[in-house]
Amino acid sequence: YFGDEKGRLFFSDDQGRQWAERFFMADPAGVKAIHHAGDGSWLVGFGTAGIFYQPPPKNDADLAQSNNGLTDQRITHFETTSDALFAVTWNDGVFRSSDGGKRWERRAEGLTADKQGDRRGLPQFTVLRRSRDGGLYLAGYDGLFHSVDEGMHWEEIPTLPQTLLIDFDVSPDFANDQQLVAITYWKGAARSRDGGLSWEPINGSLAPSYRTQVKRKRTGSNEYAQIQRFHSIVHSPDYAYDRTIFAGLRNWFLISEDGGDHWDQVELTRFAEGEDVIPDRVVFSSDFAHDGTLLFCCRFGEGETRGGGVFLSKDRGRSFQLVFQAEGKYMQSLVTSPAFAVDGTAFVSSAQGNGKSKVFRSVDGGATWVDVTGAMEFADFGAELAISPNFAEDRVVWAGTERGLWQSKDGGESWRRLKTDVFPEDGFVDLISLTPDGTIVLTVKGEGHFRSTDGGQSFQRFELGLFEKNHQFNRLWSYSPGRLIKFSPGFSETGEIFGMNGEVFLKLDRDGTEVRELPMREAVSAVGEVDLAAWRGMVISLTVAAIGAVGMATVLVFRWRSRRRVAV
């Protein structure tokens, strides 16, 4: 069987060579789920009309509507066991039938929903699976849920913890200040001033204002995306003198000029005609101390307007201009030439899906961009980019895609895929990081970490122990907030390497043989959020109290004046 968006159900009994229309239900949402049970019966779920059931064993038996007990007829998925049928609905969760679909019983205790899904027109519950031990797992918009009693009770399983490690940076003055900064997915930013041995939160001043939250509640936009969601963090290249740190949050760009103690908040939607902006990969001019130029790439917009963008600032992040947009899902990676202030060269990669991702180059400081993708191959994601520290002389640029490691020796004019004997030629290269002396460290998904000390002519495996423990320094989702392997500015002398994945923050030596975990996650402190209900209650109470106080003061004044009249 297969169903279409018009509500038609087709049947084939010759392995799909020929098809005949078997059933039709005029449903505006069409057929959403089909399931063949072990007893030979069929379940067909429609987007609004609910469930139709065909009993075993004949394929020519009539399909009959079977919605008795359903409180939501928007079906998204089916699952069966030897003695029960399960149906998943758009908003009301799971229903179970023990009589062949004649009646359905809702089993949703413990399931939760999120209003964000409603606003975006997405189902709250989608897929149900049974494990070998008999447990049930349900995919929901608000999380992953688990039941051990046939769905009578559900418990959420953490899948994306608030302390998930996202990005970090090493101070350019690390030799003197030993400073690291790091962020978590939700509500956390921390700083270490002893090389990662101890940490302190640096996001205490980032709670959104009451005015900001009231505005979002009133307009209904971004209620679910408050200012606490971090996406990137980086030191100024001139940090030893300006003590400035920059951080990217959803729709906000943060600037701290005192090493993270206090933050100024720049609202990015002002420069994007109100569109959503998720800033990643903040990069700087090579003469940032004098020209104040920085750029970031981002996911731009939502829905039909969603794509990738590059923003440019010439005043140290106080204002921005959208200088480039590309179709697709987002911008993935952005790098600038080590001599950007002179040659104006930068590269950015877009993720467009279906093998159509691209790489663009600017040679005028980000004002204009041209497609230099060439022969590069993609699948769904964009390219991870890295640029040679000697770019002015060697013109070398690196790109990692789902189809291998690519190199350009002419500033992006042409690309070739490298062949090695240590990882597949078409391996998924999703991290490339270069040391100041040109050493290359990269991650190949499913293969491990690799290093080259001869400009990419050969690669060797790097730190097998981490890979064996399932630790890979690669991006956690399709677009990545930062490069998750970074080197101490004094790497040539100290050999210090820092790496992060979602679970651990590690410090490694030059060869990756000595590994130390840094206790950053324990130091994260949640950014406060104004409790609007409590705030309103407090305001009302204070207002009533103020009115009462004014009234009492008025009474006392009148009494005093009356007494004066009597005295006279």
Q: How many residues does the chain have?
A: 568
Strands 497-500 and 505-508: antiparallel
Per domain, the residue ranges of the chain are: 2-157, 165-523, 532-562
pLDDT of residue 29: 85
Q: Which helix (H) or strand (E) holds 392?
A: helix 391-394
pLDDT of residue 509: 80
Contact of 501 with 443, CB cutoff 8 Å: no
For each of the chain's 568 residues, which pLDDT tens digit applies? Answer: 888 888 888 888 888 888 888 888 888 888 888 888 767 778 888 988 898 888 776 555 678 888 999 999 999 999 988 788 999 999 999 999 998 888 999 999 999 998 888 888 899 999 999 998 889 999 999 889 999 999 999 999 877 766 778 889 999 999 999 999 998 876 678 899 999 989 888 887 665 554 455 455 544 444 444 445 788 899 999 999 999 999 988 888 999 999 999 999 898 888 888 787 888 889 999 999 999 999 998 887 666 667 788 999 999 999 999 999 887 778 888 999 999 999 999 999 988 777 788 999 999 999 999 999 998 888 778 888 999 999 999 999 999 988 999 999 999 999 999 998 889 899 898 888 888 888 898 888 888 889 899 888 999 888 756 666 666 676 655 445 567 888 888 888 888 888 887 777 888 887 766 778 787 766 665 554 444 444 444 445 555 555 665 566 665 555 655 555 444 4
Name the CATH superfamily for 165-523: YVTN repeat-like/Quinoprotein amine dehydrogenase (2.130.10.10)
**Residue range 2-157, CATH number:** 2.130.10.10
Contacts of 276 (CB under 8 A, 6+ apart): 222, 225, 250, 251, 269, 299, 300, 301, 302
Backbone φ, ψ for residue 295 (5° rounding): -135, 155
Backbone φ, ψ for residue 394 (5° rounding): -95, -15
**Other Cβ atoms within 10 Å of 213 Cβ, number:** 19
pLDDT of residue 431: 86
Tell me which amino acid residue 497 is: I
Residue bearing tokens 């040659």: 343
CA distance 413 to 404: 18
pLDDT of residue 340: 96
Same fold flag, 2-157 and 165-523: yes
Please state, in angstroms and as integers, the Cα–Cα distance from residue 78 to each residue in 4, 124, 287, 457, following that order.
17, 15, 59, 52
Contact of 361 with 369, CB cutoff 8 Å: yes
pLDDT of residue 563: 53
CA distance 443 to 238: 29
**Nearest one of 141, 212, 202 to 529, comparing CA atoms:** 212
pLDDT of residue 218: 47
**Nearest one of 381, 311, 308 to 351, comparing CA atoms:** 381
SS3 69: coil
pLDDT of residue 284: 96
pLDDT of residue 560: 56
